[in-house]
Structure 1
Amino acid sequence: MDVVGYAEAAAGLLNADLADADALIDFLEGREWLHRQIVDKDIPALRKFQTQLRPVFEAAENDDPQGTVNGLNALMERHPITPRIFEHAPGKLQLHVANKASTVSDLIISESLLGLANLVCDLGAARLGICSAAKCDRVYVDTSPNRSRRYCSDRCSSRANVAAYRARQRAAATG
C-alpha cells in the first residue's frame, strides 16, 4: 500500500474535473481494471467528496492543523475505511482499503482518506496546500524533504517565477 501515493492521488482527485464517466476513466489512468466497475453513482459521490475534502486543504493552507485533523476525522466518520488483506499470489499478501463489493468511488475515497490521514500523522498538516500561483486554486501534497512546495505543478511554478522576474525587471527599469 502506497499511502503517500494515495495522498497525492487525493490532491489529484480534488483537482480533477469529473464531468462524466469518461473524465473518471481519465483520472483512473493506469488503473484500467477499475474502468469496467464504474457505476452511475460514482460520479456524484466523488463530486460530493471533492466538496467535502476541499476544506481540509483550506485549513492546512490557513495554518490550522486542528481544522485539518478535525476535517479528516469527520470525513473518515462519514466514509468508513474497511481495510482488507488480499492474497494476490500464494504467500503474497497486500493490504487494500476496501473490499471487493465496494464501488469505485468507495475505493477512491477510502484511499484518499487513508493516504491523507497517514501523511498528516507522519509529516504534519502543513504538507497539504493550495497553489500560490495567481489565478490557480488547485491543491497539492508536499512531500519535499524541507517542506518547500508552494505550487501545484511545475507549470504554475514557472509562470510565477517568470512573472516575478518580469516585475523585478520593470521595477529596476523605473527605479
Structure 2
Amino acid sequence: MIFAHDTDVALRTAAALVNTALEPDDTLTTTQDVRAFYDVWGWTGRHDGDDSEVTQVRSLRRRLHAVWLAADDVNATVELVNELLRTGRALPQLVEHGDFGWHIHATHADATLAQRMQVEAAMAFVDIIRAGELSRLRVCAADDCERVLVDLSRNRSRRYCEGGCGNRLAAAAYRSRRDG
C-alpha cells in the first residue's frame, strides 16, 4: 500500500466520479445513479436522494477533473486543491467505523454528499502532493479515451483506465502483428 486506506479509496472514488462524465453516455444522471455510486463506493453519512444532490454531485466532477488535468503543474494543482478545501469547509477529524480502523473524515457526517466527496478527494490530493506523487494522477494513454486514473502500482507503470483500453489496444496490436 502506497497511501493510507482512506487516501487510496478517496483517490479511486474521485477518479470513478470524474469518469462517470467521460463514459460514452453519462452514467450519473438520476437519483438512482447517485444512490448506486454512494453504495458501490461505501459512502456513509447524509444522502438526500433528490435532484439537487444529483446536480451538486455532477457539478463536482468538473472541478475534480481539473485536478487531473493540472497534475503536471504542482502550483496549479495546489491552487485547485486549496479551493476545494476552502469551499468544502474542510474540518479534518479522526474517526473509526466499520473495518477501517482510525482514518480521517474531513467534514461532518451531515454535510451534503457532494461536499463530503469534494473534501475527501481534496484531502487525498493533499496526500499525493505532500508525497511528491502527483504523477500518479493520469489520463488514460489510449488516444481515443479521456478517462482519468490513479496509478497506485508500485512501479508507477499503469497507463490505461479501467474501461478496458489496455486490453483493447493489446488485442488490436496482436491482430495487427498476426495479420501484418
TM-score range relative to shorter protein: 0.7 to 0.9
Matches within 5 A, 1:88-107: 95-107=104-116
Instruction: Give TM-score, length-normalised by structure 1.
Output: 0.80
Any conservation in 1 of the 2:30–2:51 contact (CA below 8 Å)?
A: no
Counterpart of 2:173 in structure 1 is: 164
Bigger Rg, which one: 1
Change (3 A) 1:165 1:120: farther
Q: CA deviation at 1:113?
A: 1.2
Q: CA deviation at 1:169?
A: 4.0
Once residues 73 and 35 of structure 1 are traced to their aligned partners in structure 2, the CA distance between those partners, rounded to angstroms, is 24
Change (3 A) 1:32 1:117: closer
Aligned partner of 1:45: which letter?
Q
Counterpart of 2:31 in structure 1 is: 21
Q: Determine helix, strand or coil for the equivalent of 1:152.
A: coil
Change (3 A) 1:143 1:37: same
Q: CA deviation at 1:36?
A: 5.0
Unaligned runs of 5+ in 1: none
1:35-71 CA distance string (max 9 Å, x none): 85434322111211111121211122xx333332332
Change (3 A) 1:33 1:114: closer
Once residues 162 and 113 of structure 2 are traced to their aligned partners in structure 1, the CA distance between those partners, rounded to angstroms, is 26
Structure with more of its chain in helix, by fraction: 1
Change (3 A) 1:126 1:53: same
Q: Aligned to 1:46, which of 46, 57, 77?
A: 57
Once residues 37 and 17 of structure 2 are traced to their aligned partners in structure 1, the CA distance between those partners, rounded to angstroms, is 7
Question: Could you say what the CA RMSD is over the residues aligned between the two structures, in angstroms?
Answer: 2.6
Any conservation in 1 of the 2:14–2:121 contact (CA below 8 Å)?
A: yes
Aligned partner of 2:13: which letter?
A
Residue identity (%):
29
Instruction: Give TM-score, length-normalised by structure 2.
Output: 0.78
Once residues 119 and 32 of structure 1 are traced to their aligned partners in structure 2, the CA distance between those partners, rounded to angstroms, is 21
Once residues 55 and 123 of structure 2 are traced to their aligned partners in structure 1, the CA distance between those partners, rounded to angstroms, is 21
Counterpart of 1:147 in structure 2 is: 156
Counterpart of 2:24 in structure 1 is: none
Q: CA deviation at 1:123?
A: 4.5
Any conservation in 2 of the 1:28–1:34 contact (CA below 8 Å)?
A: no
Q: Aligned to 2:128, which of 119, 138, 143?
A: 119
Provide runs of 4+ in structure 1 moved above 4 Å.
32-36, 86-89
1:107-162 CA distance string (max 9 Å, x none): 11111111122123224211101111232111001111111111112721101112
Q: Aligned to 1:130, which of 115, 124, 139?
A: 139
Once residues 62 and 111 of structure 2 are traced to their aligned partners in structure 1, the CA distance between those partners, rounded to angstroms, is 21
